[in-house]
Each structure stands twice: as structure tokens, then as C-alpha cells.
Chains A and B, each alone.
Chain A
Amino acid sequence: MILQDIAYFFVDPDLLQRYGWRMLAGLWVTAKLVAIAFTLGMLLATVLALGRLSSNPLLRHASGFYIYCLRGSPLLAQLFLLYYGLGSFREFWQDVGLWWLFRDAWYCTLLAFTLNTAAYQAEILRGSFIAIGEGQREAARALGLRPWVTFVKIIMPQSLMVAIGPLGNELILMIKASAIASLVTLYDLMGVTKLGFSRSFDFQIYLWAAVLYLLIVETLRRVLRRLDARLSRHLHDH
């Protein structure tokens, strides 16, 4: 009997029936949010990293300034700035035809996360581009390869190998940071959890969320470690 009490304390079947599926739906929202923002962020980050390394001082300073600002302030403030701040210019956005973006919490969050992760990823990519020796570039030029081909076929594959570890860490940080989406009315995993708690006042729902987040982050961490070892297997002696 006592054992059953303890089991009920952690997993109440009624509560599980009411919120179990909803939490999985919330998890799906979290996954979509992070996946899309991270991918779009990587594209923007590549541009920013190249800008930061460009010989044009204007480009260099502009991307440096962008990265500095977005890394220096909290994601929460940036999200509110976008959603409440820019979202308050209704007429303007309607005129420009972008009101669908700033009206919707989902798109705003996606935009804020993309812009934020791009700044962090840009620094990672910049570091990994620098890590490729100058000899690689010189050899490519000696072979008469065009700059674009050099970048895509020679620099990128090698630098991605350097970047994959830090990028994985950034992905994990992104998953954790995505809990903030619940503060602008999105029902991601955290949002569903807060809703469930405010209705049932049962604390165990927070513990379920904790277990789910830990499960994802830990699985991801292990997969990334495997991947990292596999990508750099030619660098290790046996």
C-alpha cells in the first residue's frame, strides 16, 4: 500500500491521462521550434562569420556589433522586444505586409531564437574557419580553384569537424532556452507544464517535465559524442 502511495506521488494515473498526451504535443512544439530556429540560425551564422572575417571593415564591424549585442543581452529581453516592442507597430507592419509575422507568437519566437542562436553560432563558426591552416587556402589557390569551391569543398568540411562539438553544445543550450517560449503564450513543453500545474496544483507535473528535458539533453549529448568521435576518427592513432 505504501509503495502504491509513493508511486502515486510521482505518477498519478488520472493526471497522466489528462496531461500525458498534451505534454508530448508540447515536446513536439519544442522540437520543431528548436530545429527550425537552429537550422535558419546556422545559415545566418555562416553569413555573419564570413562578414566578421571579411576584408571590408564595414562588414566586419557590422557583424561584430550584431554578435556583441545579441550575445550581451538576455534572450528573454530580446523576445519581448520583438513580440511586444516591434509587434506594437500594427499599422506599419500591415503596410509592409509583415503583420502575419509580428502578430503571431510562434513566428516571433522563431525569429527571436533564430537571431539569437545565429550570433552564438557565428562565433563558433568563425573560430572553426580560423582553425583551418593557411596552407589549405594557398594550396587551393595554387590548384586554381575558385573561392566559392574552396570554401564549400575544402574549408567547410574541415571546419565543421572542429565546430561540431561547440555547435552541439549550442543546440543543447537552445533546447533549454526554448522554455522561454512559454512566457509569450506558446504551449511548448514548458508551457503545457505550467498550464497543467496552474490547473491541478500537482507538483509532480514539473518533475515529469524535468525528466523529459533531461532525457532529451542527455540522449543528444551522447549521440553528439559518438558523432564527434566518428568524424574525427582519422585523426587518432590506433
Chain B
Amino acid sequence: MLEHLALLSLAEGGWGLALLAGALMTLALALACLPIGVPLGLALALAERSRYRLLRSFATLFGTVFRGLPELLTLLIIYYGCQIAMQKLLSAAGHPQAVSINAFAAAMVAFGLVFAAFSAQVWLAAFKTIGKGQYEGAAALGLSRRITFMRVLLPQLTRVALPGLSNNWLSLLKDTSLVSTISLVDLMRQTNLAVSATKEPLFFYGVACLVYLLFSALSGRALAFLERYYSRHLRSVR
């Protein structure tokens, strides 16, 4: 047991530092998907409710595709697809050469799109909880469409959507383990490396599972705090 723990040491010969770096990479990747995923998800939900048929069909198509494809396939299609498209473009422009795109960027885009497709459903459900009176009230006060959305609708939407978005976040966190297949050195990849060097698969995969569990538990705490914060007006005064 003790020699197993030594494998995790942060010093020379231990895998602690490598695993820590991998874990940070996992976290960084998951966080980097949010700036794409959250606004795009909201935009897709708005498009789905728009009065223009073209926008509506686009949003439906986007949702069907990215919710229906396996995440692994989405990732590979974006990673290899972008590479091949760039190569074709370059050779068409007269500069034939091999292109390799950044695995982090590809993963960020792929998971961002998937997150957007799933979170659009959450936003859509949240829109249904907002009564007609809110729109009428805002119109009666003479608020502009932008102000109505930002100051009246969005805060209420966020509160209702938060539990659903937390679920999306937790699956995103777990899905990032797939990037180990496109050789981005995240927690999973680092674990694979450690296993092939030390021949201790049970121990290292167990540790990886525990780290993912820890991340899930910590983000569960953080999100519960956020949910409390956004519904603080609903609490009774004690």
C-alpha cells in the first residue's frame, strides 16, 4: 500500500505532479467549453422560439445532430475534419503541406457544440416557466426588448435553468476524458501513461476515477451554492 502511495508522490519518480497537471488540463478544458457552450445554447433556444422558420429549423437540426452523435464521433469528426479541410484549402491555394490542428482547440469546439445542443433544451424548458405577465409588465413599463431580456427574463431564466445546466456540466466534465484519444494530455491520458510505465493499472485507474469523483463532488457543491444564491429571494425570513 505504502509503495503504491509513493507512486503518487510529487517528487522525482512519482506520478503525482503529472497526474495533477493532467487533472488541471481536464478542468481547464471543461471550463474552456463554457464560453462557447452557454451563450450558443441560449442563442439556439432563442432561435428555436423565433418567428423565422429558417432560424427555427436551423436550431432543430443543430440540436438533433449534436445530441444524437456519440461525443467520441463528434470529437473525431471535428479534429480530423478540420485538419483535412485545412489541408485541402492550403493545397488549393498552392501550399500543399501537412496540417495538424491544436487538439485542445478541437476538443473545446466539439464539446462546446455538444454542450450548446444539450443546454438549449434546458433554456427552452426554462422559457416555458415564465408567465405572459412578465412580458406584458415589461412592455407596460416601456422597457426596450434588450432591457426586458437582460434585466427581466435572463435572471429568472438563469434561476430555473441552473439545475439542468449543472447536469450538463457534470456530463461535460466526464466527457472530457474522451480527449485522451486525440492525444491531448488530460487526466485520462496521463493515467494511461502512468499505467504503461508502472504496470499498475488497477491503482492508477482507481485514482483517476477518484479524481473525477472529487471534481463532480466539488462542482456539485459550487452549483448548489449558486442555486441558493439565485433563489435567495424565495427563502422565508427566519
Residues of A within 8 A of B (CB): 68-69, 71-78, 80-81, 84-89, 172, 175-180, 182-183, 190, 193-194, 197, 203, 206-207, 209-210, 213-214, 217-218
A85, A175, A214 — most chain B CB neighbours (10 Å): A85
Report the minimum CB–CB distance from A213 to chain B (whole Å).
Answer: 6
- Decide: A210 near B69, CB < 8 A? Known: A76-B188, A81-B209: yes
In the complex, the answer to whether A77 meets B209 with C-beta atoms within 8 Å is yes
Residues of B within 8 A of A (CB): 64-65, 67-73, 76-77, 80-81, 84, 174-175, 177-178, 180-181, 188, 191-192, 195, 199, 201-203, 205-206, 208-210, 212-213, 216-217
- Decide: A77 near B208, CB < 8 A? Known: A84-B195, A206-B81: yes
The interface residues of chain A, by DSSP majority, are classed as helix
In the complex, the answer to whether B178 meets A76 with C-beta atoms within 8 Å is yes
In the complex, the answer to whether B212 meets A85 with C-beta atoms within 8 Å is no
- Decide: A74 near B80, CB < 8 A? Known: A210-B73, A214-B64: no
Report the minimum CB–CB distance from A203 to chain B (whole Å).
Answer: 5
- Decide: A85 near B202, CB < 8 A? Known: A76-B188, A190-B73, A206-B76: yes
Q: Which residue of B lies closest to A221 (CB)?
A: B68
| Interface contact tally, CB-CB below 8 A | 105
- Decide: A197 near B80, CB < 8 A? Known: A190-B70, A190-B72: yes
In the complex, the answer to whether B73 meets A179 with C-beta atoms within 8 Å is yes
Q: Which residue of B lies closest to A209 (CB)?
A: B73
Q: Could you list 9 A-B pairs, sorted by A, with CB under 8 Å? A: A73-B216, A75-B174, A81-B208, A179-B73, A190-B70, A193-B73, A203-B84, A213-B68, A213-B70
In the complex, the answer to whether B69 meets A73 with C-beta atoms within 8 Å is no
In the complex, the answer to whether B202 meets A81 with C-beta atoms within 8 Å is yes
Q: Chain B residues with Cβ under 8 A from A203's Cβ? A: 80-81, 84
Q: Chain B residues with Cβ under 8 A from A73's Cβ? A: 174, 208-210, 212-213, 216
Report the minimum CB–CB distance from A139 to chain B (whole Å).
Answer: 34
Q: Chain B residues with Cβ under 8 A from A88's Cβ? A: 199, 201-202
CB within 8 A of A206: which of B73, B202, B213?
B73
In the complex, the answer to whether B64 meets A218 with C-beta atoms within 8 Å is yes
In the complex, the answer to whether B72 meets A213 with C-beta atoms within 8 Å is no
Add 12 more A-B contacts to A206-B76, A218-B64 (CB < 8 A): A72-B216, A73-B210, A81-B209, A85-B206, A86-B202, A88-B201, A88-B202, A172-B68, A176-B68, A190-B73, A214-B68, A214-B69
